[in-house]
Amino acid sequence: MNGERLLSRWTSAIGMCAVAVFLSGSRAIAQTEKTLYNFNVISVPGGTSPTSGVILDSGGNLYGTTELGGSGDGEWCGILNGCGVAFELSPQSDGSWTERVLHSFGSGADGANPDGGLSFDGAGNLYGTTYNGGTFGSGTVFEITP
């Protein structure tokens, strides 16, 4: 019985130390958030409703996709006239970011409504997926050369 009691006390002590370390560590890290770019539902050609994260290139540019917006007008497009875009955000010297549309989806076999992350290959091409459109209407895997 003493062994069980001792083990229980050690387990409680170790657990309390872990909680104390976790709490003290979480206080030491300051968290801040800064909005870099706002998508505008009125400016649909630039895309709207980003649904996945962004990736960073060696020049400090961010790349991502939006589910809606853009200039595509395929049958898979949503109410915002456009089936999404692949975009590049470039940092400016004044701290702002400029969006450049790399591709507007929804013109047919290219797919519609990109969803999911992008990946780079060694040559700098971007790869991703759409969940609608394409030859059979069930999405595509795409490659974009920025």
Instruction: Show me where the domains of the chain are located.
Output: 1-32, 44-144
- Lowest average pLDDT, out of 25-39, 53-67, 88-102, goes to 25-39
Q: Is the pLDDT of residue 125 over 60?
A: yes
Confidence (pTM): 0.74
Band of pLDDT at residue 81, cut at 50, 70 and 90:
low
Residue 146 confidence (pLDDT) above 70: yes
Cβ contacts of 95-98, under 8 Å, gap ≥ 24: 97/36, 97/37, 97/62
Reduced DSSP (H G I as helix, E B as strand, rest coil) percent helix, strand, coil of the chain, to 5:
20, 35, 45
